[in-house]
Structure 1
Amino acid sequence: MVKWYVGLLVFVVLAAGCTQELAEKRAQTIKPPEVAPGAEYVGTDTCLECHEDRALDAKHNVHLRLASYEAPGYQVGCEGCHGPGSVHVEAMSEDEVEKGLEAILRFGEDGYHGEESSAVCLTCHNAGETMHWAGSAHAEHDVACISCHKIHDNPRAQLLAKNEFELCSQCHRDVQAKMYFISRHPVKEGHMSCGDCHNPHGTGNPIAGMLRTEERLNDLCLTCHTRYQGPFVFEHDPVIEDCTICHDPHGAVANNLLKQNEPFVCLQCHEAHFHATRDNAQPGFVFPDDTVINDAEGTGTDPVLFKDPYTGETPSITSSPHGWQRSFLTKCTQCHQQVHGSDLPSQSLPSRGMGLTR
């Protein structure tokens, strides 16, 4: 027990030392861009003397609630994003508006935007969820942090500019349309979000793109659909390779997010079942096409009688036109129910269920 406590104490001391060292390194290397050389930090209270409309922003904006000890190595408050404000304050007090605006970092249409504005955010947000932003698809397409996040006067979680589904739909219109199909994930209803499957800041995985998976796409699907994980004795190759071979995760007209209805989704890889080619007239009664069966009044057409070609006997059943085709070309899962994988029939008893004898 004593050894355990000693080990824990050593770990805490080492962790504290590493944290302090990292903080000092950040303080030396990660700083906001200097737009006014020689400017000094004056504090948030000084900023609020003129920008009093931002005083209420402290209720929602986490940047204004941070204490210095919570972000070692970083400047907190207004100047954490807008840079040191002494030159700006001095110029504005002397009514030198143009000089004052140039002496502070501004964002949006009249200031920094695109890659430049994101670089300011990344001075702090350079780890965790955002550490791979530089190589992400959004960054490559000049999407900025402020394209999705509204920093001031925003009560939404994570300072999103809009509801997440609405925000993503601004650009991803094709995905938005699929969310109105009959079969879909419950994103539009609010039970899921785009961020459950995608990391909009990038993942660093060139294969997965923005998907939240370290390996295959299937591993992401299996975080919820664990019953399809296996391993199975009889495995379905497309299931192992990629779930999206058969399913469209954003929505589909066919049930269960299938890209096509059965049997067409199966016929992309499999040939039509050989039973579907069986002649419906062997054995059975078959009614000629475009005819009416005899009713109580005796009107209509009698069925054509066939004899079994093998026994010569008259069959005692009546089959409908195209019966075999309907049976084997309508829904494959009527018989093959475990399309994701199965352990039946048992490999340990090969003679059972296989029509084999020992």
Structure 2
Amino acid sequence: MGKKILLLITSLSLIVGCSEMMRNRAAYIKLPPIPQGASYVGSEACGDCHEDYIQESTNVHLKIASFEVPQGVKTGCESCHGPASLHVEGEGDTEKIIRFGPEGLEPDEIAGVCVSCHQAGTHFNWAGSIHAENEVACTTCHKIHGNKNKNLLVDKETALCAKCHQDINAKTYFASHHPIKEGKMGCSDCHNPHGSASPEAGMLKTEERVNDLCLKCHTRYQGPFVFEHDPVVEDCLICHDPHGTVANNLLRQQEPFICLQCHEAHFHAARASNNVATVFAPGDPSNVIAPSDHGFTKSFMTKCTQCHSKVHGSDLPSQSVPGAGAALTR
């Protein structure tokens, strides 16, 4: 009986939690109000005043035909700006039409207009995305009219993202970095700015593990290996910072310090040598390195990958300690 009550409580908690999540998601998308009594007049009427907008060759929205949209959905200018009859009759009264300028729609209302069409594929998770939660409007990144940039972005992708993510942009100038500033990669190669199934992970383009995204390019580290390195299997970001680091190979710290966060000093670099004191000048105590210091001195001045080069996994067992598991050696 107690188990049934616990199961019921758990189920109710999940239902309430899901309902709350859906309410929060809905808060980021809202259809803007349409002027009462307005009707559709067609894009030709807009051309009387906005001829330059009507003749734009770079605006893909103007190229959408009526047979490409569901029945009843309008195309042309009024697909975004709403019915324009009152706007036309009022000689351009901006209060009689949906407008997107600084004094126009709120971010959630702008999303309501855009998501009415862009609601599948890469835009599916916009409502629950970090950008939506922080009131980033579609027009913050996209400029619809008079724009020749790819995807109608207001600026080049990396420069646009850097306007807000300045701390991340700074990392791309570290000694070790992905080729972003060189133009061989962009932010959208790894991130979906319109939201993903894992918004807490930085809207990464993966439905599962972070590793699955990394392995799309770094396939040689995928394995399978007989002896696996546990942090590698769990998450690449435990050891690597993909945006850039001072250490080589995008490591969060230099060797051997990054290894010593999990592993104690190795026996051949520390323990075995702890039994021997090194004397540089006989009879001079100041030139004697104590046994306990000598091993750690060696370990701190040695890269672990000199011997353990296969840190992502290996098919070789430990050669020095039988049964000790993976050595991750060459």
TM tier, smaller: 0.7 to 0.9
Q: Distance in 2 between matches of 1:147 and 1:162?
A: 10
For 2:275 and 2:227, the matched residues in 1 are separated by 36
Whether 1:339 aligns to 2:317 is: no
Distance in 1 (CA, whole Å) between partners of 2:276 and 2:145 is 78
Deviations 1:156-202 (A, max 9, x none): 11101111101111111110000000100111111111111111111
- Measure the CA separation in 2 of the matches of 1:133 and 1:76: 23
Structure 2 residue aligned with 1:17: none
1:170 is matched with 163
Distance in 2 of aligned mates of 1:281 and 1:36: 87
User: Does structure 1 residue 81 correspond to structure 2 residue 80?
Assistant: yes
TM-score by length of 1: 0.73
**How far does the alpha carbon of each residue in 1:27-61 deviate from its partner, in whole angstroms, 9 at most, with x for none?**
xxxx975522232211111101111221342x101
Match in the other structure for 2:63? 65
CA offsets 1:198-218 (integer angstroms, 9 cap, x no match): 111111335645111111111
Give the structure 2 partner of residue 204 of structure 1. 197
Per-residue deviation, residues 55-107 of structure 1 (Å, max 9, x unmatched): 342x1010111111122332111111001111111111xxxx5xx21110001
Alignment-derived partner of residue 140 in structure 1: 133
Structure ID, larger Rg: 1
Letter in 2 for 1:236: H
Q: Which residue of 1 aligns with 2:17?
A: none
Q: 2:247 aligns with which of 254, 260, 269?
A: 254
| 8 Å Cα contact 1:44/1:79 also seen in 2 | yes
Deviations 1:316-343 (A, max 9, x none): xxxxx96984367420000001000000
1:287 Cα offset (Å): 2.5
Contact 2:265-2:299 within 8 A present in 1 as well: no
Asked if residue 121 in structure 1 is aligned to residue 94 in structure 2, the reply is no
Aligned twin of 2:261:
268
Q: Is the 8 A contact 1:34 1:83 kept in 2?
A: no
Q: Which amino acid aligns with 2:68?
A: E
> What secondary structure does 1:177 align onto?
helix
**Pairing of 1:308-323 with structure 2 (within 5 A):** none
The residue identity in structure 2 corresponding to 1:102 is E
Residue 234 (structure 2) aligns with: 241
Q: TM-score, normalised by structure 2?
A: 0.79
SS of match in other structure, 1:341: coil
Does the CA contact (< 8 Å) of 1:68 and 1:76 recur in 2? yes
Q: Secondary structure at the match of 2:175?
A: coil
Indicate conservation of the 8 Å contact 2:277/2:294, yes or no: no
More displaced 10-residue stretch of structure 1: 132-141 or 71-80: 71-80
Identity of aligned residues (%): 60
Gaps of 5+ in 1: 1-30, 292-302, 305-320, 347-352
Q: Distance in 2 between matches of 1:53 and 1:67?
A: 20
Residue 330 in structure 1 maps to residue 323 in structure 2: no
For 1:335 and 1:229, the matched residues in 2 are separated by: 21
| Alpha-carbon RMSD | 2.7
Q: 1:153 to 1:282 in 2, by over 3 A?
A: same
Letter in 1 for 2:178: H
Query: For the residues of structure 1 that align with 2:47 and 2:196, how far apart are their CA atoms?
Result: 38
User: Helix, strand or coil: the match of 1:234?
Assistant: coil
Question: How many matched pairs?
Answer: 284
Residue 230 (structure 1) shift: 1.2
CA drift at 1:345 = 3.3
8 Å CA contact 2:125–2:197 kept in 1: the answer is: yes
Within the alignment, does 1:223 sit opposite 2:221 as a pair?
no
Q: Deviations over 1:125-178 (max 9, x none)?
A: 111111111111110010110011011100011101111101111111110000
CA distance in 2, matches of 1:324, 1:173: 39
Partner secondary structure for residue 235 of structure 1? coil
Task: Work out whether 1:107 is the aligned partner of 2:106.
Answer: no
Amino acid at match of 2:49: C
Q: In structure 2, how many angstroms separate the alpha carbons of the residues matched to 1:114 and 1:207?
A: 21
Tell me which residue corresponds to 2:25: none
Cα distance in 2 for partners of 1:36, 1:231 equals: 62
Distance 2:188 2:143 in 1: 18
